[in-house]
Amino acid sequence: MDATTIRQGISYVINSRGERTALQLDLTNVAIQGIVDDLMDTLDVIERMTEPKRAFEEVKKEILSSRAIELTMPIEPIPPMRRGQSNSYSPADIKRWGVQRFLDEVCPKEPFQIPDLGFTEEENRQMDQILKQEREANL
């Protein structure tokens, strides 16, 4: 982020007397987006300055006890993939289960072997030729 990039995303609105009356920020400018995000975070901090202070040990104890509750809850099972059938999982379910847990439980651990479909060498050669022609036509 450099000053020139930032300046390109800032415009002043000027009234008929030539006075600056407003600031216009180009939110498509990534540098400006970062500055606005930082500004909003700063405003959140300022708003929270009046909140009562809590001891670190108290907050830590609260977080650890909530984790203990989460760990004792039964884990929702992920439905297994069904061979030979169309399988689908909704993004909301995958998010609820956790992406890494989903991948660990559902995805094959080893590459799967494609069974011999019974094509002859000549048929395989013809299919390869057709695929090659289609690829060349799409270039």
Q: How large is the average pLDDT for residues 108-126?
A: 85
Bridge partners of 22? 13
Decide if pLDDT at 114 tops 90: no
Q: How far apart are CA 43 and CA 65, in angstroms?
A: 30
Give the amino acid at 131: L
Task: Give me the helices (H) in the chain, please.
Answer: 3-8, 30-48, 56-72, 91-97, 99-106, 121-137
Structural domain contains residue 38: yes
Inter-CA distances, 108 with 78, 99, 116, Å? 14, 15, 20
Q: Per the structure, how many domains does the chain have? A: 1
Domain that holds residue 10: 3-48
Residue-wise pLDDT tens digits, 52-88: 888 988 888 888 777 665 556 677 888 887 777 777 8
Q: Mean pLDDT over all residues of the chain?
A: 86
Q: How large is the average pLDDT for residues 109-134?
A: 88
* Higher pLDDT, residue 66 or 15: 15
Structural domain contains residue 16: yes
Two tokens, residue 71: 């760990």
Residue-wise pLDDT tens digits, 24-57: 999 999 889 989 999 999 999 999 889 888 898 8
Residue partners of 26: CB distance under 8 A and separation at least 6 = 8, 9, 10, 11, 32
Task: Report pLDDT for 25.
Answer: 92
Q: How large is the average pLDDT for residues 89-103?
A: 88
Structural domain contains residue 81: no
Structural domain contains residue 23: yes
